[in-house]
Chains A and B, each alone.
Chain A
Amino acid sequence: MNRPKTCFLLFVALIAALAPFQSAINPYYFNILISIGINIILGVGLNLVTGYTGQFSLGHAGFMAVGAYLSGSVTVFLAPRWLPALGGGAAGETALFLLALIAGGLGAGLAGLAVGVPSLRLKGDYLAIVTLGFAEIIRVILQNMEIVGGPRGLSIPIRPTGLFGTYLAAALTVYVVVLLVHSTYGRGFLTVRDDEIAAEAMGINSTKYKVIAFVVAAFFAGIAGGLYAHFIQFITPEGFGYLKSVDIVVIVILGGMGNTPGVILAAILLTILPEGLRVMSGWEFLPDAVRGIVKNRMILYSLLLIILMLTRPQGLFSSGGKWTQKWRAMKRRGRA
């Protein structure tokens, strides 16, 4: 058994062991923990597209929406019929949930393929605009689909999303992205980001790599959407607007493009940050201007990003840091 698989299985065993205690967690913290897990999936997935492959996508929330609505629909429409057949009870619910999640992931992955194949010829800003447009189209379609509630939203009767499911999906996302990238095959993603012309000249089919990155990220965004839908139990098209896409992009930029541990940290930080800000906006002794900024997350994000670009353009948790260099030096010595 090799190291990545062992790490993955150890982590799964750990969350499986901790899962029974989740009911003891205060609902507020439980909420935050689940949100962190979902944001890790979204951030690490988008990092494959934007960080490792260098394709700027502003429509990640669109794939999340596809996954949320598709998996939500599976549960809403199939539960009454299938749940008895699956034996009812907790086991049946889990099986249906799994089915719903996979449907959501595959649906989003297909959407990724449909958007990616024609649009990945575009570069930079053009690609950002097309992906943004795609997410808006999804939102408008959902708003006009009466069967899933249109603008009123869709409520999901069950709440099977738990710590185990969420962190299993998060671990799976990290595992897939890290293993993909850390192989001779996966170096292709980075070459496309670094220099597409040189990549093609070395025999690398850059379109193929871009589409793969896009589809993998969309698949996991769909899973994240499914987890979210079965946690919040009420989804509206507005919840997957372009601000949500921006949130995910900010996670990737803050974490450092193509730096998975950094992106995980950024996902944690940016999930906790709004909570901290909410507390701060209640502090009477702060001047009104400060409280105003603190209340508006987007203003703060903009400021944060500007400061970041000026001081640490490689991301808050960049891989050029002291510790990573030490770690690399250690690995090198180990090999020699």
Chain B
Amino acid sequence: MDPKMAGHETEGPRMNPLLEMDRATVEFGGLRAVSELDLTLRQGELVGLIGPNGAGKTTVFNLITGVYQPTSGDIRFEGRSVAGRKPYQITARGVARTFQNIRLFGSLSVFDNVRAAFNIHLHHGISHALWRGPGFDREEREVETMAEELLEIFHLDHLRDAECTALPYGDQRRLEIVRALATRPKLLLLDEPAAGMNPTEKGELMRLIRFTQEKFDLAVLLVEHDMRVVMGICERIAVLDYGVKIAEGAPEAIRNDRKVIEAYLGE
């Protein structure tokens, strides 16, 4: 075979997995919160991660984003291990997340929450902030436009100057997604984005997740308790129970999986 061709093939974005969790394990004291987890995401995939309370879903997010270090196993993003990297370095590589217990920047306006997340993409650093030449102004305007565009997609543009803590719950969750998107991720991790939303908001959220995933060609890993949401938009679903992956497959197969049903009934 032509070696050039072969090289081409393996370099193709849809061929290489974006995220590979390889027997990733984390222990807290004696508790194995995540146990030998294998999970792979390709570019542009929308995968659900479900499981009963305390199954270890949020811990998986904390492992991928470097908040926790795996005690054994490995996690690779675009083929390179993220072990030992700090959260901000992993974000710079293209992983962004939202938080189950909303963690917005409480003293900042809606706009500033998004603006702050553009930080890693600034070409101009501290000296430009002080000198304020034309390059600085141009870049600030660019950031402003991009932030406003993102807010508009999520129907938050009219709240631009509001204090983010004054927003209703659902708006705060959507603002967290906007803020995560501002870092221009390749992989977006959503931790229960529909929690606290009413059915209309949930429907709208599903549409928005689909839309942004296609628009920005994102891979999305979605943790969500609302089965209608997960089954409605995910191509593939992985199920965790006590830190162990007990099933993985298409929504239809998961719905009828005996182990999954037991895990949820035993709750």
- A residues with CB within 8 A of B: 2, 4-5, 176, 179-180, 183-188, 190-191, 193-195, 197-206, 212, 258, 328, 332
Contact = CB atoms under 8 A, between A and B. Distances in A.
Interface in B109-131: 112, 115-120, 122, 124-126, 128-130
B171 interface: no
Given A190-B116, A191-B105, A212-B126, A200 B87 contact: yes
B136 interface: yes
Contacts of B183: 202-203
Contact of A183 (B103, B104, B136): B136
Contact of B91 (A184, A195, A201, A328): A201
Given A202-B179, A203-B183, A184 B105 contact: no
Given A184-B119, A184-B140, A203 B132 contact: no
A197 B67 contact: yes
Top 5 A-B pairs, shortest CB-CB distance = A203-B120, A203-B91, A187-B116, A198-B103, A200-B87
Interface stretch (B92-100, B197-205, B225-233, B254-262): B92-100
A199 B87 CA distance: 9
Among B108, B112, B119, B182, the one with the most A-chain Cβ atoms within 10 Å of its Cβ is: B119
27 contacts: A176-B130, A179-B129, A183-B140, A184-B115, A184-B118, A185-B125, A185-B128, A185-B129, A187-B116, A190-B105, A190-B107, A190-B112, A194-B104, A197-B87, A198-B105, A199-B116, A200-B87, A200-B88, A201-B67, A201-B96, A201-B97, A201-B99, A203-B92, A203-B120, A205-B86, A212-B126, A332-B161
A308 B97 CA distance: 38
A186 B103 contact: no
B143 interface: yes
B179 to A, nearest CB: 7
Interface string B42-84: 0000000000000000000000010100000000000000000
Nearest to A320: B163
A186 B92 contact: no
Contact of B119 (A179, A187, A197, A332): A187
Contacts of A203: 88, 91-92, 117, 119-120, 183
A176 B183 CA distance: 27
Contact of A194 (B91, B108, B143): B108
Contacts of B182: 202
Interface in B174-227: 179-180, 182-183
A194 B103 CA distance: 9
Contact of A179 (B88, B97, B108, B130): B130
B129 A202 contact: no
B144 to A, nearest CB: 9
B103 A180 contact: no
A204 B88 CA distance: 6
Interface in B140-162: 140, 143, 161
Among B65, B129, B139, B161, the one with the most A-chain Cβ atoms within 10 Å of its Cβ is: B129
Contacts of B136: 183
Contacts of B96: 201-202
B108 A185 contact: no
Contact of B129 (A180, A200, A205): A180
B126 A180 contact: yes
A186 B115 CA distance: 10
Nearest to A329: B161
A161 to B, nearest CB: 25
A186 B122 CA distance: 11
B137 interface: yes
Contact of A193 (B86, B107, B124, B125): B107
B245 to A, nearest CB: 24
Nearest to A202: B117
Given A188-B116, A200-B88, A206-B88, 4 more contacts: A185-B125, A200-B91, A202-B117, A203-B119
B106 interface: yes
Given A184-B118, A197-B67, A204-B119, A190 B108 contact: yes
B211 to A, nearest CB: 22
Contacts of A183: 129, 136, 140
B130 A187 contact: no
A200 B97 CA distance: 11
A184 B132 contact: no
A197 B103 contact: yes
B61 to A, nearest CB: 10
A5 B132 CA distance: 9
A58 to B, nearest CB: 23
Contacts of B115: 184, 187
Given A190-B105, A191-B105, A194-B108, A202 B116 contact: yes
A328 B92 CA distance: 33
